Every structure is written in C-alpha cells, then in structure tokens.
Structure 1
Amino acid sequence: MERLGTGIGWRPEIADAVERMPGVDWVEVVAENICPDHLPASLRRLRERGVTVVPHGVSLGLGGAERPDPHRLAALAERAGALGSPLVTEHIAFVRAGGPPTASARLEAGHLLPVPRTRDALDVLCENVRIAQDALPVPLAVENIAALFSWPDEEMTEGQFLYELADRTGVRLLIDVANLHTNHVNRGEDPAEALAGLPLEAIAYVHVAGGYERDGVWHDSHAHPVPRPVLDILTGLASRVAPPGVLLERDENFPEPAELEGELDAIRAALRAGRHAATGARAEGAGAGAAAPSGRAQAPAGASGSGPARQRLGLAQAALLSALVAGTPAPEGFDRVRLRVQARALAAKRAGIVAKVAPELPVILGEGYRTLFLAYALGRPLTGGYRRDALDFAGLLLSDGLPEDPRARRELREWWLERSGPAPRSRRPAVRLARATRRVLSRRRPERSGK
C-alpha cells in the first residue's frame, strides 16, 4: 500500500491555506463536489507539486439493499482518473432506501446511516463492494461510520464485521478513529476492543476529526477541534500498526490556518507516542493478529448478497429511514429517543444544505429560518433534490401565511414566483434579493471566526 503521510481534507474555504501549510503530504477531496473537466485551480497546483489527491465518495450507499448505481460508480472512476489517484474511498453505510425492491417510495437520507451488523447486511455489502471493485480503475477502501443509534439484534462486533468484510473481498479499510470514539459514547463500544479486532494490514489510511457532546450523545460534526480521546485512540492504533496515511477532516467552522496546523502537529505527536509505546510485542501481535489477504477472497459457499438477503435488508432499511425522515413509527427494537435525535440531526443538516443552495431564504426569514425549516422538514422526506426542497419549503410557508412580517412575506413570494414557474417572471426581484443577500452577508462575515 502506498505511503501517504500526513494530510488534510481539501475544502474550497481553506484551499489557499492548505497550499501554504508545511508538511502536508496529501489531501482528500469530496468526490461529488468536483467536476473532472474543471478541477479547481488549487487542486491542479497541488498535483503539479506532487501532492497526492484522493477522492472520497459520500453518495454510493454500498451498505444499501440495492446494487451500486453504475452511473455513480462511473463518476467516481472518472474523478479518480482525473486526479491521478492511487485509490478511492467510500463508506460502509446506506444513504437511501425504498423503491421497487420494497414496493415503497424511494427515500433519501442526505446522510450516512449505519448498516446492521448481521449476516444479511454483510452478504449484501460484500457483493456490493465486489461490484464497485470491478468498476473502479484503482483500489477501493471503505470507511467505518459514526452512529447515533444501534440496530437491534446485531450479530457481530464492529471488528468482526470489518474483519470478515476485508477477508471476503480483499477491500482496504479507511479507519476513522473519531467514529470509534463516537460509537464508544453513543453505543458503549470499547475502542480498544474494536482496534484489537481489526485486520490491521488492510488499513489504507486513517481519518481524524472533531465533534461535540450534547445530552450524553456525541455528534461527529467535523466542525470542532479534535478532542484528546480521539487522539488517544489514534495513539492506540499507532502502537499496533504504522498506518500508511493519516488525514485531518474539517468541513465547517474553519479556524485560522495556525489552528489547523496545530491540529496536524497534535496528530503527528499522537502517532509518535504510538510508535514509542510499541515494542517487540508489535511484531509478535501482528504475526498472531489478522492480516487482510493480498488478493480478493471468495465468499463462503452459500453466502450471496442477492435475493432474500437483499429483500430483508431493504425492508428493514426502508422502515428505519421512513421513521427518520417521514415521521412514521419507529421500527420495533430501536431506541426511540436516539431515533428522534437522529431525525433532528438529519433535518438540521438538510436546513444547512438548503441555506447554501438558496442563500436568499435565511436572509429573508432571518433568525427564524432554522426553526421554520425544522418544522417543515420533520415528517416531510426530501424529494427532487435540495433546490426543489427550497421551493417546497417557501411554498408551504406562503400557503400558511408565513412569515408574519408583511415585507418578508412579500420578498419570499417574489423569490418563490421567480423560481417556481417554467420561466423567470422578471430579473428585477432576483437582482434586488441578490443585492440584499450580499449586504447581509457582508455584515455577518467578520463574525465567522470560531464556531
């Protein structure tokens, strides 16, 4: 496996800072956020300097009941080729459910959701991973995700699930130590036990990220500093194996470059502490431990992800996702309190994305935007994408006589009419709103430091 070194997640908001950071050996980019024909200039410059760029997918849904979408696989392959990447990565998660296999409406989560650690889910995941491997021009690595809730009646630990996945498919693993901490707080899972059960030789690289705790629930925000417990898990991992690469993820609330550089230094220090703690027992442990096979292993006889396993998994995932985004009753065995927390987290993330694709809405609605959107989103699934979501949200507010301020309601009506018809009514309302948006955002900009 190629040695990557220490890296950071490339985001447009910190692109200039990343280019200037000392000691950045490689970067990771969200695959869906770039166009292969029009790579950002910053990424082109990094590649010209010899910095490795790895595309990280978020929408494939390898843990879903359906086989991977060929178009999404082709898009991921195209990005790997355009970036000259040595590998691509995705998640062990499902992001959509329903549709023809379950004779129900297709639902989108807009987020990564955990798969049950069951034989059915493992069989489906293994088959989906093999399909993806056959479609991609470079090796695939898959990431363990964070979860706010647990599936009932799980049959394996995370370590057992990942070990068997790597053993049966030869896939590499992207281990997120922040997600191990999340699962420790939210699911009572011991990170040391999870590390002990992993096929360490299958690790392609490691993610490190921050989050926050609220009411006993850890939220993997990627918007806060990396906490000490996460660095300690990284040290524990480094005492067992030398990971080929380690990467800092930050998606929001970007601090000053010096703070990001400080977090990279803390990651390097955690790795050094792990290497220092390692003794001759590492070699003995590695020999006795689990190593992923170098080639693709065949599935055990009778283990196939097709047919009944897919149907059972599909029905279970559709019922769960419907409870999270459509307000239907929680399936039996789930912690209803945790599902409510997850549902609100999904709605809040949706509100943030809509605010980015339709920035005029928070300007028009002011501080009430978030409250109004959460009331709209809880129980109303995402359909037709986020721009359609913004229009539906505005249309519902107007039909309810909201917002109460006549001026804001008039501006919202103009915005909605401008975008909801087959052709724009007039350029003037849009121009006025664009100017108003720029004025408000320019007043807010100095306040964006910190959280």
Structure 2
Amino acid sequence: MARLGTGIGWRPEIADVVERMPGIDWVEAVAENLCPGHLPDSLLRLRERGVTVVPHGVSLGLGGAERPDAGRLAALAERVEALGSPLVTEHIAFVRAGGPLTASPLLEAGHLLPVPRTRDALDVLCENVRVAQDALPVPLAVENIAALVSWPDEEMTEGQFLYELADRTGVRLLIDVANLHTNHVNRGEDPAEALAELPLEAIAYVHVAGGFERDGVWHDSHAHPVPRPVLDILTDLASRVMPPGVLLERDENFPEGDELAGEVEAIRGAMEKGRAAGTARAAEQRRAAATARAADGAVGPRAARDGSGAGDAVRQRLGLAQAALLSALVAGTPVPEGFDRVRLGVQARALAGKRADVVARVAPELPVVLGAGYRPAFLAYAQQRPMTGGYRRDALDFVEHLMRNGRPRDADVRHELREWWLERSGPQPRSARPGARWARATRRVLLRR
C-alpha cells in the first residue's frame, strides 16, 4: 500500500487554506461532489504539485442487502481515473433499504447507518465488497462508522467483524479513530480492545475528526476541534502500527487556517508519541511471544473461512431488518424489537436535522425565501415524507409539499417558491429553454409600462 503521509479533507470552503498549508502530503475529497470532466481548479493545482488526491465515497451502501449498483460503481471508478488516485475508499454502512428485495418502498437514509455484526450481514458485506473490488481500477479500503444505535443480538465485536471482513476479502481498512471514540461513548465499546483485534497490516490510512457530547450521546459532527480522547486513541494505534497515512476531517464550521494547521500538528504529535511508545511495546511483545512459544509451541496459521457468497434468502433477511430500522427512523413506523427506543429517537431527530441542513446547502435559496420558518417547516415535512431520491429531489418535493398545502400563507412568498420550483423541476431550467430569453424581455417591457 502506498505511503500517504499527513493529509486533510479537501472541501471547497477551505480550498485556498489547504493549498497554502505546509506539510500536506495528500488530500481526500468526497467522490459524489466531484465531476470528472470539471474537477475544481484547486484539486488540479494540488495534483500538479504532486499532492495525492483520494476519492472518498459515501453512497454505495456496501453494507446494504442489495448488491452494489453498477452505475454508482462506474461513477466511482471514473473519479478514481480522473484523479489518478492510488486507492479509493467507502464505508461499512447501509444508506438505503426497501425496494424489490423486500417488496416495500425504497427509503434513503441520507446518512451512514450501522450494519449488524452478524454472520448474515458479514456474508452479504463480503460479497458486496468483492463486487466493488472487481469493478474498481485501484485497491478499495472501507471505513468503520460511528453509530448512535446498536443492533440487538450481535454475534461479533467490531474488531472481530473487521478482522473477518479483511481476512475473507483482502480489502484494506480505513480506521476512523473518532468513530471508535463515538462508539465508546454511545455503545460502551473499548477502543483499545477494538484496536487489539484489528488486522493492523490491512490499514490503508486513518481518519481523525472532532465532535461533541450532548445528553450523554456523542455526535460525530466533523464540525468541532479534535478532542484529546480521540488523539489518545490515535496514539494507541500508532504504538501498535505506523499507518501509511493519517488525515484530518472537517466538514463544517471551518476555523481559520492557523487553527486547522494546529490540529494537523496535534495529529502529528499524537503519532510521534505513539511511535515512541511502540518501540517499548514491540520489545515487550517479542519477549511475551518467545515465552508463549516455549510453553505451548508455535501457533499455526489461521484457517481461512469459506468464501461462498450470500444467498438470496440471507439478503432478504438482512433487507427486511434494515428496512424496518430505517422506516422507524425516517417514516415513524414502530421501533423494531430489541432496539433502544430513546436512542432511536435521538437518531431520528439527528437524521431529520441533517436532512434539513443538507437541503439548505443544495438549495440555499429556500432558507432565504422562507426565513426563520424554513427549518420548522422542513422538519414538519420530514416527519411525513421520507427521502426517496436524494437531497436535490428532496428540496423539490419539500417545496411542492408546501405549495399543495397552501403554505406559507404569505402570497408573495408562495409566488417566489413557485417560481423557484418551476425553474428547477423540469429536465432543464426554464431560463435555459427556447423562448425563455424572449419571455423575460417581454415581461420587463410590460413591467415598465
């Protein structure tokens, strides 16, 4: 695996800062936000300087019951080739559920949701990873995610689940130490135990990010400074193995460049601290291994598991379980048996809030037109209408929902919303259609009379 060094997540809002930041060896960009034929000038300049760019996917849903969509895989491969990347990454998560496999409506989460750590889910995930590996031109690495909820009746720890996944598929791992901290607070999982169970040699690189705690729940926000516990987990990891790369993620509330650079330096410091501790750890481990061999004899190689794929019945069982969970989160259906109702309520509110925030970013005119009424109106809509077609479709459906219900009451605001919706609801903007320029000119003449 290529040595990456120290990096930072590239985002348009901090593109200039990233370009000027010293000591940045590589960057990571959200794959779905890139158009291969029109890459941002900032990324092109970074590539010309020899800075590696890694595309980071968020929409494949490798942990879902369905096999990976061929179109999404082709789009991801196209971005890899456009960037000349040495690898590509995705998540161990499901992002949609329902559809033909379960004879139920297809629902989109708009978020990365946890996969149950069961044999069924592992079989499906392994087969999906193999499908993705075959379709991508470079090695794939998959990331552990943060979770607010736990599946009932899980059969493996996170470390065991990741070990078997890497063992059966040869996939690389992207370890997010901030997510290990999140799962420690929210699910009581020990980060040190997870690290001890991981196949460290499979690590491609490491994510580091910030978050915040509210009412005993840790939210992996990527919008706050990296806290000390996350840096401590990074130090522990670096004492066990020196990963090929480490990267700071920041998605919102971007600080000044000096503060970002300070966080990168703190990450380097945590890595160096771990490297120093690793020398002592390695010597201790060699002594312990020698003692164990003398007492018990050498341990043979680990037996490989059956690599057979997941059958349709296994996929359907997983699909039904995931659809029931997602429907409870976004459509208000009953909470599936075994789940924590309070925690699912927290997750449902977080999903609705994220949905409102993302729609506001992809359609920034709506908060301007609706003012302070935007957020309560959108959250009320979200309680009735699960997302089924992505955030841009969601924005159009939201405005259509308002218009059908005669909202808001202000006629001028309703007119603005109608014009906005008409401009964007067709196959091409009204302003770009034949005759639109003549119609606008005629309207201006009439208004002057």
TM score, norm. by length of structure 2: 0.89
**1:281-300, aligned counterparts within 5 Å?**
281-282=281-282, 285=285, 300=305
Query: Residues 169 and 299 of structure 1 are in contact (CA less than 8 Å); yes or no, is this contact kept in structure 2?
Result: no
The superposition leaves residues 337-370 of structure 1 with CA deviations (integer Å, 9 ceiling, x where unpaired) of 1111111111111112211222111011111211
Distance 1:75-1:414 versus aligned 2 partners, 3 A rule: closer
**Is the counterpart of residue 266 in structure 1 residue 266 in structure 2?**
yes
C-alpha separation in 1, matches of 2:224 and 2:141: 25
**1:427-442, aligned counterparts within 5 Å?**
none
Residue of structure 2 in register with 1:206 after alignment: 206
Instruction: Select which of 327, 341, 344 maps to 2:346.
Output: 341
Residue of structure 2 in register with 1:416 after alignment: 421
1:326 partner letter: A
Deviation at residue 299 of structure 1 after TM alignment? 6.5
Aligned to 1:53, the other structure's residue is in SS state strand
Query: Residues 5 and 25 of structure 1 are in contact (CA less than 8 Å); yes or no, is this contact kept in structure 2?
Result: yes
**1:166-177, aligned counterparts within 5 Å?**
166-177=166-177
1:6 partner letter: T
Distance 1:38-1:285 versus aligned 2 partners, 3 A rule: farther
Deviation at residue 76 of structure 1 after TM alignment? 1.2
**Is the counterpart of residue 328 in structure 1 residue 355 in structure 2?**
no
1:370 partner letter: R
Residue of structure 2 in register with 1:91 after alignment: 91
Moved more, 336-345 or 376-385: 376-385
Residue of structure 2 in register with 1:35 after alignment: 35
C-alpha separation in 1, matches of 2:60 and 2:343: 25
Residue of structure 1 in register with 2:18 after alignment: 18
C-alpha separation in 1, matches of 2:156 and 2:308: 16
1:375 partner letter: A
Percentage identity across paired residues of the two chains: 81
Residue of structure 1 in register with 2:233 after alignment: 233
Distance 1:43-1:416 versus aligned 2 partners, 3 A rule: closer
Residue of structure 2 in register with 1:2 after alignment: 2
1:377 partner letter: A
TM score, norm. by length of structure 1: 0.89
Moved more, 110-119 or 321-330: 321-330
Distance 1:302-1:205 versus aligned 2 partners, 3 A rule: closer
Residue of structure 2 in register with 1:360 after alignment: 365
C-alpha separation in 2, matches of 1:418 and 1:60: 30
The superposition leaves residues 138-159 of structure 1 with CA deviations (integer Å, 9 ceiling, x where unpaired) of 1110000000100000000000
2:335 partner letter: A
Residue of structure 2 in register with 1:107 after alignment: 107
Query: Residues 7 and 28 of structure 1 are in contact (CA less than 8 Å); yes or no, is this contact kept in structure 2?
Result: yes
C-alpha separation in 2, matches of 1:387 and 1:219: 25
Residue of structure 2 in register with 1:446 after alignment: none
C-alpha separation in 2, matches of 1:264 and 1:428: 54
C-alpha separation in 1, matches of 2:366 and 2:234: 41
Query: Residues 403 and 409 of structure 1 are in contact (CA less than 8 Å); yes or no, is this contact kept in structure 2?
Result: yes
The superposition leaves residues 420-443 of structure 1 with CA deviations (integer Å, 9 ceiling, x where unpaired) of 568749789999xxxxxxxxxxxx
Larger Rg: 2
Aligned to 2:126, the other structure's residue is in SS state helix
1:163 partner letter: Y
Residue of structure 2 in register with 1:291 after alignment: none
Residue of structure 2 in register with 1:251 after alignment: 251
Q: How many residues align?
A: 423
C-alpha separation in 2, matches of 1:428 and 1:110: 40
The superposition leaves residues 233-260 of structure 1 with CA deviations (integer Å, 9 ceiling, x where unpaired) of 1011111111110000011111111110
The superposition leaves residues 144-181 of structure 1 with CA deviations (integer Å, 9 ceiling, x where unpaired) of 00001000000000000001111111111000000000
Moved more, 361-370 or 403-412: 403-412
Deviation at residue 282 of structure 1 after TM alignment? 2.1
Moved more, 72-81 or 227-236: 72-81
C-alpha separation in 1, matches of 2:277 and 2:360: 47
**Is the counterpart of residue 370 in structure 1 residue 375 in structure 2?**
yes
C-alpha separation in 1, matches of 2:307 and 2:200: 27
C-alpha separation in 2, matches of 1:121 and 1:179: 20
The superposition leaves residues 159-207 of structure 1 with CA deviations (integer Å, 9 ceiling, x where unpaired) of 0000111111111100000000000111011111111111111100000
Residue of structure 1 in register with 2:444 after alignment: none
Query: Residues 239 and 281 of structure 2 are in contact (CA less than 8 Å); yes or no, is this contact kept in structure 1?
Result: no
Moved more, 402-411 or 61-70: 402-411
2:271 partner letter: L
C-alpha separation in 2, matches of 1:172 and 1:45: 28
Residue of structure 2 in register with 1:194 after alignment: 194
Aligned to 2:101, the other structure's residue is in SS state helix
Gaps in structure 2 of 5+ consecutive residues = 290-301, 442-449
Aligned to 1:328, the other structure's residue is in SS state coil
C-alpha separation in 2, matches of 1:361 and 1:20: 34
Deviation at residue 303 of structure 1 after TM alignment? 4.6
Residue of structure 2 in register with 1:443 after alignment: none
2:250 partner letter: R
Aligned to 2:206, the other structure's residue is in SS state strand
Query: Residues 357 and 386 of structure 1 are in contact (CA less than 8 Å); yes or no, is this contact kept in structure 2?
Result: yes
Aligned to 1:365, the other structure's residue is in SS state helix
Aligned to 1:196, the other structure's residue is in SS state helix
Aligned to 1:98, the other structure's residue is in SS state strand
Distance 1:57-1:50 versus aligned 2 partners, 3 A rule: same
Deviation at residue 284 of structure 1 after TM alignment? 6.0
1:325 partner letter: V
Query: Residues 354 and 386 of structure 1 are in contact (CA less than 8 Å); yes or no, is this contact kept in structure 2?
Result: yes
Residue of structure 1 in register with 2:153 after alignment: 153
C-alpha separation in 1, matches of 2:430 and 2:127: 47
C-alpha separation in 2, matches of 1:203 and 1:68: 23
Deviation at residue 111 of structure 1 after TM alignment? 0.9
Deviation at residue 43 of structure 1 after TM alignment? 0.9
Aligned to 1:279, the other structure's residue is in SS state helix
Q: What RMSD over aligned residues (CA atoms) do the two structures have, in Å?
A: 2.3
Aligned to 1:389, the other structure's residue is in SS state helix
Residue of structure 1 in register with 2:390 after alignment: 385
Gaps in structure 1 of 5+ consecutive residues = 289-296, 432-451
Distance 1:298-1:350 versus aligned 2 partners, 3 A rule: farther
